[in-house]
């Protein structure tokens, strides 16, 4: 499963080989996940010692199948298989296909390994590898300067996060040093933890929250859930948590490090669907989710996570409202939804419950978001542009694409009974339950509710603009890829738009089907283990530990969220439905806001001006110092010596008497030195 | 009657200083040679003085005296070579002023 | 008397250098045979090395050479032919021989006096091997100087346009450094009362040393050694010879310079300065840290400002060797392990990058980054190699630098806590300049002279593939190198054993 790199020389067939490999990976992924559901303990293997440090520290490449990891395995491989299948037509006319598939398979391997990592080091290792694959795939159209630039930006920005992540791991290591044998770089310290109830398999609580901070009595390492005792390294832990958040923010494009994700849309749409919607960006959430064990000790960090997530969800949603590019709208939506998940993890960590709500949203989001991307890809494939303002009326030509995308949009906006409704509902109820306990809790709750409205608004804006109306607003050459590939297929260029072949439609339909039903999955008992801490809810009723309970607050919440989603839908219809294109009047007082949004709050410009140009200028200045000050000093020595030597040459008069004078002077100096200097200096040098 | 060591060393030091002064100030090659001889003789006198007053057992007597004899021979040889150089210099350059003979080549 | 395989190694290396020098037009065959034989002997040495025997050097051979008597009657100081390896020198020996083989293969088509060229390359290697295996201060110094002179001729004879300037600068700089180093080493031997130049049992002498050398002497000697080895390393502000030497040197020369010569400085610090002068070390450790951080940041930022690919790689070497210096300065077991690992990693990676720079010059006639672009389209292999090298250098997992850098940062964290953020931040800059360079060179629309470009010729491809294969191999399985390192008597010094690293 970890090696899908075969077949660089199989030409056209390479895509199908990749499909076969990925299908194999899916089967084994399912097998592993099912085994995990049935197993009493997480499967854990630490046999491969990667680096052995003197002093007892060991770094191990182990395998750990945790509930969260098993869930991620399912997501990765299902989406992966469908995307690889889809690529067979979508990418058919590009050059460098073996490279594409090799990178894609490398990504899938690394991603699978990432979620099976059993310690932070291994996590970082594969974390960077998926980052590399993301870099390579964003830059797949390497002849396009924008693509190369976006790839670089993605790598550098996530690198900032990675550095913070590494520092965070070190901090955790410091906070927990000596607790476990191999070191706290282990993700799941409690490998021998007892199963909560006979026959129900492992629970999150077992492997997670219930272990003692380092100062606790080692004879009783497990405490009851939620009774976290004082942490001697509180400041370190908090800082560590914040650094880890930095890493997750880099990968999952959260607030200050979000700028790379919209640009990453320069990559092929398939890549956007797989990496930048479903899997890699979710790795940041996954990181936070598995780290909640530690984050439970540091409410401050949890609060910051909550804040960053909540802010990002609204912040990104507003930018999605004005973007003319179909892929970027979905990208902003991804950032916004990831913000939701971040917020949920923060709330879980703060309330010391399992991160199941975030993982549930991650799970459903992966499917409907890759569905949206693939559907958008199918539109782009057929229409040949990414500009929403040029599209329109596509529902007639492409009914299946339109239908599946509608499913995706409904799921994203959280409309019953699509999967997004359930996950978003659980998420909102979590943030609502946090309002009373978290400082500014109500603010975060308000943010998340406002984002529901925004989500429905921007995604239906997209749908109406693309599929509503009567026809293309600005027909362009169909069937040519949106990117300027020099050997791009001219194609038969049929005048009529039509659906792509089943190779592309099948994944759409499958994903749409999953998006419809995925919300009910936690009802299956063995699946519910994969969402630790989740209380699955439906209109006020929620399922906690196998028992249905009713809470009126949850019912109100569901109704509010649903009505907000419909409100958003309605607003979108009012502005953009039926072929209307709302353009903001020039004298509108909101014009300034519109510009602000279109310039992405000027974040990119600010980063460019401050960070990029500033660092470049600094490096130029340092180069100048290097050349003229440091090297200048060296040359100064050189000139000094040459001047000194030419002066010294004049001493060589050739007059014997002068030489004799120097001789005598030297003699005198030596005599004085030996008589007075040595006795004075000798004690200094230890007796010589 | 024996001359005290201090007097001997004083004479030797005086001769040495005189010789050094001569070496540094004179430009005439022959005067220079004479100055060198004076320095040499100061050294010989030193040897003889310490031969008479041995600084450590076993260093007195014939040791210093034999060195002095060798040095006398050495000085004679040196003067012979020096005068030969003076003659050669005089023939080649027409002068025996060392300040004008500042190059080792012709 | 038992003959150590290391003696055989030195014999093969020196005979090879001599034979190649006078081999004439067939020199490349002679060179490749002898450097191959060197690698073979090194591999044999690896098999003979025992991992769990850590109390002393291994594969020892000690023969009395002559006695150095300062005064007649005084007890003489013995000068020996003493060779041996431990876990610290063994990776360096391996690195040096492999890199030399790759450099010889890379220059297969060299037509400018191939005999002397390959001969000097091999002579550099022989000297470096001597430096790493000799266990006698005088022998060490002799080999140290043996390295210098062929490198001077390599730069001065086969170099670029400003080769004379660069060669003189290299020579004067490193020679001043080695004189200072030599005087300090001699002073250590004389004042420390070793009675021998042989340092087989050196670390046992440490207590003796501590009493024999006063604090002032130790600080002075340590400062001199730090300067002497630091120039070689190179550490800012004594680094300016490096970019010039690299830029002007022929590719093989640059490769050896970066991959091996720089390591000699770090090796000297680990071997002599740090363990033998504990008081000096403690006094000057803040200075080491300061210079290390300065080198790291300086190297990273200056790389960002460079236009010439070779200069860029040269400054990135300064950055990496700064991390090595930092890891050494921590003076913990993990730190030394990380330093050696990083030296090994940097040797392989910088070899790749300098070879790529050379190939770029062959293919495009320039190394100026802004004037070339779109290499992926015209020279895909070269572009791939550039990418692997850059990614390895910026510390990507599964490539050799990652475990090394990770260990170094881990050690830094253990030793210095949050100050680790300084090198970590520099890591972002490192990523930025490599990616920016790749973006300009490899991607985008093709620019630069595209008429006469050709992709990598076979010899260059073979050499690069060899290095890249090693980069990947040791990146995935870093313990293949790391397992050797703790098998060193250094790790048994009393004040060093706890991993805490501060002598009482």
What is the pLDDT averaged over residues C7-29? 86
pTM: 0.80
| C86 pLDDT higher than 50 | yes
Query: Is the CB of residue C390 less than 8 Å from the CB of residue C437?
Result: yes
Task: Tell me, yes or no, whether A110 and A74 share the same domain.
Answer: yes
| C500 pLDDT higher than 50 | no
Q: Which residue has the tokens 């009373």?
A: A436
Q: Which residue has the tokens 């969800």?
A: A313
Task: Tell me, yes or no, whether A636 and A539 share the same domain.
Answer: no
CA distance C100 to chain A (A): 27
Task: Tell me, yes or no, whether A680 and A552 share the same domain.
Answer: no
Parallel, antiparallel, or unpaired: how do β-strands A547-550 and A536-538 relate?
unpaired
Task: Give B-chain residues touching A665 at CB under 8 angstroms.
Answer: none
Q: What is the DSSP letter of B54?
A: -
Q: Half-sphere exposure (CA, 13 Å, Cβ side) for C11?
A: 7
3-state SS assignment for residue A386: coil
d(CA A514, CA A418): 9
H/E run at residue A63: strand A58-65
Q: What is the DSSP letter of C75?
A: P
3-state secondary structure C324-376: HHHHHHHCCHHHHHHHHHHHHHHHHHHHHHHHHHHHHHHHHCCCEHHHCECHH
Size of interface A-C (CB pairs under 8 A): 151
Determine the pLDDT at residue A402: 81
d(CA A196, CA B3): 114
C301 closest CB neighbour out of A144, A622, A631: A622
pLDDT, one tens digit per residue, over C448-458 is 655 566 778 88
- The answer to whether position A244 is within a domain reads yes
Q: Which residue has the tokens 């991160």?
A: A355
A660 closest CB neighbour out of B23, B102, B104: B23
Partner chains of B (3+ C-beta pairs under 8 Å): A
CA dihedral (A493, A496, A502, A505) in degrees, to 10, reads 110
Distances (CA, A) of C402 to A88, B10, C271, C399, C410: 35, 78, 25, 6, 12
Q: Where does a domain end: A598, A626, A641?
A: A598
* Predicted complex ipTM: 0.82
d(CA B93, CA B101): 8
Select from A651, A652, A656 the residue whose CB has the most chain B CBs within 10 Å, as the one to mutate to test that interface.
A656
Beta-carbon count within 10 A of A392 CB: 23
Task: Give A-chain residues touching C308 at CB under 8 angstroms.
Answer: none
Select from A650, A654, A661 the residue whose CB has the most chain B CBs within 10 Å, as the one to mutate to test that interface.
A654
The top-scoring range by mean pLDDT among A31-45, A213-227, A629-643, C424-438 is: C424-438
Determine the pLDDT at residue A363: 84
Domains and CATH numbers, chain B: 5-97 (1.10.287.3510)
d(CA C86, CA C486): 9
Which residues in chain A (632-661) have CB-CB distances under 8 A to chain B? 653-657, 660-661
Determine the pLDDT at residue C96: 93
What is the pLDDT averaged over residues A482-507? 54
**Which of these, C2, C101, C4, lies nearest to C49 by C-alpha position?**
C4
Q: In what order do the strands lie in the sheet with A541-544?
A: A536-538, A541-544, A547-550
| CA-derived radius of gyration, chain A | 31
H/E run at residue C393: helix C380-393
Q: Where does a domain end: A554, A575, A598?
A: A598
**Which of these, A491, A494, A495, A470, lies nearest to A480 by C-alpha position?**
A491
Task: Give B-chain residues touching A662 at CB under 8 angstroms.
Answer: none
What is the pLDDT averaged over residues C381-388? 87
- The answer to whether position A490 is within a domain reads no
Q: Half-sphere exposure (CA, 13 Å, Cβ side) for C249?
A: 34
Give residue C216's pLDDT band: very low, low, confident or very high (50, 70, 90): confident
d(CA A579, CA B106): 108
d(CA A60, CA A50): 5
**Which of these, C454, C357, C383, C372, lies nearest to A96 by C-alpha position?**
C383
Determine the pLDDT at residue B81: 93
Burial class (CB in 10 A: 0-12, 13-18, 19+), C217: buried
pLDDT, one tens digit per residue, over A416-455 is 777 878 888 778 777 777 777 777 777 878 888 888 888 8
pLDDT, one tens digit per residue, over A84-99 is 778 777 777 777 777 7
Parallel, antiparallel, or unpaired: how do β-strands A541-544 and A43-52 relate?
unpaired
pLDDT, one tens digit per residue, over A324-358 is 788 888 888 888 888 888 888 888 777 766 677 78
Determine the pLDDT at residue A208: 33
Greater confidence (A616 vs A214) lies with A616
Q: Which residue of A has its CA nearest to C241?
A: A631
**Spatial CB neighbours of A211, under 8 Å, sequence gap ≥ 6:** A189, A190, A193, A221, A222, A223, A293
- The answer to whether position A195 is within a domain reads no
| A491 pLDDT higher than 50 | no
What value does the mean pLDDT of chain A take? 70
| C92 pLDDT higher than 90 | yes
Task: Tell me, yes or no, whether A352 and A284 share the same domain.
Answer: yes
Give residue A472's pLDDT band: very low, low, confident or very high (50, 70, 90): low
- The answer to whether position A53 is within a domain reads yes
Task: Give B-chain residues touching A649 at CB under 8 angstroms.
Answer: none
- The answer to whether position A416 is within a domain reads yes
Q: Are A167 and C479 in contact (CB < 8 Å)?
A: no
What is the pLDDT averaged over residues A538-546? 62
Partner chains of A (3+ C-beta pairs under 8 Å): B, C
Determine the pLDDT at residue C240: 84
What is the pLDDT averaged over residues A521-532? 67
Select from B82, B99, B105 the residue whose CB has the most chain A CBs within 10 Å, as the one to mutate to test that interface.
B99
Task: Tell me, yes or no, whether A662 and A640 share the same domain.
Answer: no
3-state SS assignment for residue C58: strand
Give residue C350's pLDDT band: very low, low, confident or very high (50, 70, 90): very high
Query: Is the CB of residue A509 less than 8 Å from the CB of residue A420?
Result: no
pLDDT, one tens digit per residue, over C351-380 is 999 999 988 888 888 888 888 877 777 788
Give residue B42's pLDDT band: very low, low, confident or very high (50, 70, 90): very high
Task: Tell me, yes or no, whether A645 and A673 share the same domain.
Answer: no
Task: Tell me, yes or no, whether A644 and A671 share the same domain.
Answer: no
Task: Tell me, yes or no, whether A38 and A177 share the same domain.
Answer: yes
Say what percent of chain A tops pLDDT 90. Answer: 0
Q: What are phi and psi of C57, to 5 degrees?
A: -70, 160
Q: What is the DSSP letter of A47?
A: E
Which residues in chain B (40-59) have CB-CB distances under 8 A to chain A? none
| A489 pLDDT higher than 60 | no
CA dihedral (A153, A154, A160, A164) in degrees, to 10, reads 180
- The answer to whether position A270 is within a domain reads yes
d(CA C23, CA C427): 46
Burial class (CB in 10 A: 0-12, 13-18, 19+), A96: middle
Task: Tell me, yes or no, whether A512 and A427 share the same domain.
Answer: yes
Query: Is the CB of residue A309 less than 8 Å from the CB of residue A344?
Result: yes
d(CA B66, CA B4): 21
Q: What are phi and psi of A225, to 5 degrees?
A: -55, 140
Give residue A189's pLDDT band: very low, low, confident or very high (50, 70, 90): very low
| C137 pLDDT higher than 80 | yes
Determine the pLDDT at residue A212: 29
Determine the pLDDT at residue C98: 93
Q: What are phi and psi of A62, to 5 degrees?
A: -115, 180
Which residues in chain C (440-459) have CB-CB distances under 8 A to chain A? 442-445
Q: What is the DSSP letter of C485?
A: T
- The answer to whether position A43 is within a domain reads yes
Q: What are phi and psi of A547, to 5 degrees?
A: -120, 135
Q: What are phi and psi of C82, to 5 degrees?
A: -125, 120
Q: Are A661 and B103 in contact (CB < 8 Å)?
A: no
pLDDT, one tens digit per residue, over A129-143 is 888 888 888 888 777
Task: Tell me, yes or no, whether A552 and A662 share the same domain.
Answer: no
Query: Is the CB of residue A266 less than 8 Å from the CB of residue A380?
Result: no
Query: Is the CB of residue C57 less than 8 Å from the CB of residue C86?
Result: yes
Task: Tell me, yes or no, whether A567 and A632 share the same domain.
Answer: no
What is the pLDDT averaged over residues C170-175? 87
Q: Are B23 and A655 in contact (CB < 8 Å)?
A: no
Distances (CA, A) of C175 to A370, A660, C124, C315: 63, 33, 16, 21
Q: What are phi and psi of A355, to 5 degrees?
A: -80, 30
Task: Give A-chain residues touching C217 at CB under 8 angstroms.
Answer: 684-686
CA dihedral (C99, C103, C106, C110) in degrees, to 10, reads -170
d(CA A177, CA C329): 23
Residue B23 at interface with chain A, using a CB cutoff of 8 Å: yes
Determine the pLDDT at residue C100: 93
User: What is the per-residue DSSP string for A500-568?
Assistant: --HHHHHHHHHHHHHHHHGGGGGGSHHHHTTSTT--EEETTEEEETTEEEE-HHHHHHHHHHHHHHHHH
What is the pLDDT averaged over residues A576-604? 66
- Number of domains, chain A: 3
d(CA C219, CA A685): 11
- The answer to whether position A3 is within a domain reads no
pLDDT, one tens digit per residue, over A202-218 is 333 333 323 323 333 33
Task: Tell me, yes or no, whether A573 and A611 share the same domain.
Answer: no
Determine the pLDDT at residue A366: 85
Q: Which domain holds residue A683?
A: 656-688
């Amino acid at each position: 499963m970890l090696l899908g790199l075969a077949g660089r020389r199989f030409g056209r067939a390479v895509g199908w080989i990749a499909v076969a490999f990925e299908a194999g990976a899916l089967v084994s992924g399912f097998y592993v996940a099912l085994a995990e559901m049935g197993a009493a303990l997480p499967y854990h293997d630490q046999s491969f010692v990667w680096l052995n440090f003197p002093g007892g520290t060991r770094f191990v490449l182990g395998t750990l199948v945790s509930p969260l990891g098993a869930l991620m395995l399912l997501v990765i491989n299902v989406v992966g298989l469908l995307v690889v299948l889809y690529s067979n037509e979508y990418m058919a006319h590009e050059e460098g296909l073996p490279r594409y598939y090799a990178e894609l398979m490398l990504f899938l391997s690394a991603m699978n390994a990432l979620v099976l990592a059993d310690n932070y080091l291994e996590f970082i290792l594969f974390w960077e590898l998926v980052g590399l694959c993301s870099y390579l795939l964003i830059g797949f159209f390497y002849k396009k300067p924008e693509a190369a630039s976006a790839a670089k930006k993605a790598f550098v920005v996530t690198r900032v996060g990675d550095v913070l992540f590494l520092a965070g791991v070190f901090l955790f290591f410091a906070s927990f040093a000596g607790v476990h044998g191999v070191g706290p770089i282990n993700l799941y310290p409690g490998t021998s933890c007892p199963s909560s109830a006979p026959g129900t398999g492992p629970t999150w609580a077992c492997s997670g929250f219930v272990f003692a901070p380092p100062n606790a009595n080692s004879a009783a390492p497990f405490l009851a859930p939620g009774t976290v005792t004082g942490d001697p390294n509180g400041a370190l832990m908090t800082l560590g948590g914040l650094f880890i958040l930095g890493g997750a923010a880099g990968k999952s494009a959260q607030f200050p490090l979000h700028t790379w994700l919209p640009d990453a849309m320069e990559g092929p749409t398939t890549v956007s669907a797989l990496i930048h919607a479903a899997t890699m960006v979710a790795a940041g959430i996954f990181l936070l989710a598995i780290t909640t064990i530690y984050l439970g000790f540091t409410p401050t960090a949890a609060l910051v996570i909550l804040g960053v997530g909540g802010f990002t969800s609204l912040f990104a949603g507003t930018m999605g409202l004005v973007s003319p590019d179909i892929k970027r709208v979905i990208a902003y939506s991804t950032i916004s939804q990831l913000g939701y998940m971040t917020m949920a993890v923060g709330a879980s960590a703060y309330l010391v419950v399992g991160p199941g709500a975030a993982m549930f949203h991650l799970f459903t989001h992966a499917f409907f978001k890759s569905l949206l991307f693939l559907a958008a890809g199918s539109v782009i494939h057929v229409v040949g542009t990414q500009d929403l303002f040029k599209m329109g009326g596509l529902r007639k030509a492409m009914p299946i694409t339109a239908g599946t995308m509608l499913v995706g949009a409904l799921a994203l906006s959280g409309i019953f009974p699509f999967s997004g409704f359930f996950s978003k509902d659980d998420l909102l109820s979590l943030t609502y339950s946090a309002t009373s306990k978290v400082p500014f809790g109500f603010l975060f709750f308000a943010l998340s509710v406002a984002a529901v409205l925004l989500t429905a608004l921007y995604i239906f804006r997209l749908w109406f603009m693309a599929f509503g109306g009567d026809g293309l607003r600005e027909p362009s050459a169909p069937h040519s890829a949106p990117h300027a590939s020099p050997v791009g297929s001219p194609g038969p260029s049929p005048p009529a738009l039509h659906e792509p072949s089943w190779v592309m439609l099948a994944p759409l339909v499958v994903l749409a089907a999953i998006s419809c039903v995925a919300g009910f999955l936690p009802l299956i008992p063995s699946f519910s283990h994969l969402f630790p801490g989740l209380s699955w809810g439906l209109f006020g009723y929620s399922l906690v530990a196998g028992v249905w309970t009713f809470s009126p607050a949850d019912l109100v919440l569901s109704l509010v969220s649903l009505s907000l989603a419909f409100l958003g839908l309605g607003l979108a219809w009012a502005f953009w439905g039926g072929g209307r294109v709302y353009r903001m009047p020039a004298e509108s007082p909101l014009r300034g806001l519109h510009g602000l949004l279109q310039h992405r709050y000027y974040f990119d410009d600010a980063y460019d001006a401050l960070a990029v140009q500033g660092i470049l200028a600094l490096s130029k200045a340092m180069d100048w110092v290097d050349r003229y000050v440091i090297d200048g000093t060296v040359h100064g020595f050189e000139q000094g010596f040459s001047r000194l030597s030419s002066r010294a040459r004049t001493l060589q008069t050739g007059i014997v008497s002068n030489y004799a004078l120097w001789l005598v002077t030297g003699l005198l100096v030596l005599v004085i030195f030996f008589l007075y200097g040595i006795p004075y200096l000798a004690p200094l040098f230890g007796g010589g | 009657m024996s001359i005290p060591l201090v007097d001997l060393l004083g004479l030797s030091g005086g001769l040495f200083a005189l010789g050094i002064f001569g070496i540094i100030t004179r430009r005439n090659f022959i005067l220079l040679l004479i100055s060198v001889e004076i320095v040499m003789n100061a050294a010989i006198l030193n040897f003889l003085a310490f031969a008479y007053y041995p600084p450590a057992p076993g260093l007195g007597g014939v040791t210093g005296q034999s060195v002095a004899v060798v040095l006398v021979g050495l000085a004679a040889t040196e003067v012979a070579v020096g005068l030969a150089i003076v003659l050669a210099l005089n023939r080649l350059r027409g002068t025996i002023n060392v300040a004008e003979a500042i190059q080792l080549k012709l | 008397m038992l003959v150590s395989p290391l003696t055989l190694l030195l014999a093969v290396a020196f005979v090879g250098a001599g034979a190649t020098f006078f081999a004439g037009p067939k020199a490349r065959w002679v060179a490749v045979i002898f450097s191959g034989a060197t690698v073979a002997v090194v591999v044999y040495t690896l098999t003979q090395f025992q991992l769990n025997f850590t109390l002393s050097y291994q594969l020892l051979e000690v023969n009395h050479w002559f006695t150095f008597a300062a005064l007649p009657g005084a007890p003489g100081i013995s000068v020996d032919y003493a060779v041996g390896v431990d876990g610290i020198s063994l990776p360096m020996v391996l690195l040096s021989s492999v890199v030399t083989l790759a450099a010889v293969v890379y220059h297969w088509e060299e037509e400018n006096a191939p005999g002397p060229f390959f001969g000097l390359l091999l002579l550099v290697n022989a000297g470096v091997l001597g430096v790493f295996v000799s266990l006698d201060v005088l022998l060490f110094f002799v080999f140290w100087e043996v390295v210098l002179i062929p490198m001077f001729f390599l730069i001065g004879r086969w170099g670029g346009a400003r080769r004379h300037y660069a060669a003189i600068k290299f020579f004067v700089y490193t020679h001043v450094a080695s004189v200072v180093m030599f005087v300090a080493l001699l002073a250590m031997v004389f004042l420390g009362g070793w009675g021998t130049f042989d340092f087989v049992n050196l670390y046992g002498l440490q207590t003796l040393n501590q009493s024999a050398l006063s604090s002032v002497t130790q600080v002075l000697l340590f400062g001199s050694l730090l300067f002497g080895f630091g120039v070689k390393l190179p550490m800012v502000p004594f680094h300016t010879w490096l970019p010039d030497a690299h830029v002007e040197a022929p590719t093989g020369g640059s490769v050896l310079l970066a991959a091996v010569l720089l390591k000699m400085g770090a090796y000297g610090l680990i071997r002599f300065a740090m363990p033998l002068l504990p008081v000096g070390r403690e006094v000057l450790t803040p200075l080491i840290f300061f210079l290390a951080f300065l080198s790291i940041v300086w190297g990273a930022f200056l790389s960002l400002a460079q236009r010439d690919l070779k200069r860029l790689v040269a400054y990135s070497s300064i950055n990496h060797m700064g991390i090595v210096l930092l890891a050494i300065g921590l003076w913990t077991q993990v730190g030394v392990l990380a330093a050696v690992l990083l030296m090994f990693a940097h040797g392989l990676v910088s070899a790749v990058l300098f070879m790529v720079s050379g190939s770029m010059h062959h293919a495009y006639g320039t190394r100026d980054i802004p004037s070339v672009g779109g290499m992926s389209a015209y020279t895909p292999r070269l572009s791939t190699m550039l990418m692997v090298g850059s990614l390895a250098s910026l510390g990507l997992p599964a490539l050799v630098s990652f475990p090394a850098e990770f260990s170094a940062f881990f050690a830094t964290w253990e030793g210095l806590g949050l100050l680790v953020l300084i090198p970590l931040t520099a890591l972002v800059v490192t990523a930025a300049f490599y990616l920016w360079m790749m973006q300009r060179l490899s991607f985008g629309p093709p620019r630069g002279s595209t008429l006469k470009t050709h992709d990598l010729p076979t010899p260059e491809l073979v050499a690069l593939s060899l290095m890249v294969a090693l980069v990947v191999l040791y990146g995935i399985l870093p313990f293949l190198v790391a397992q050797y390192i703790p098998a060193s008597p250094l790790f048994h010094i009393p004040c060093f054993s706890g991993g805490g690293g501060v002598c009482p």
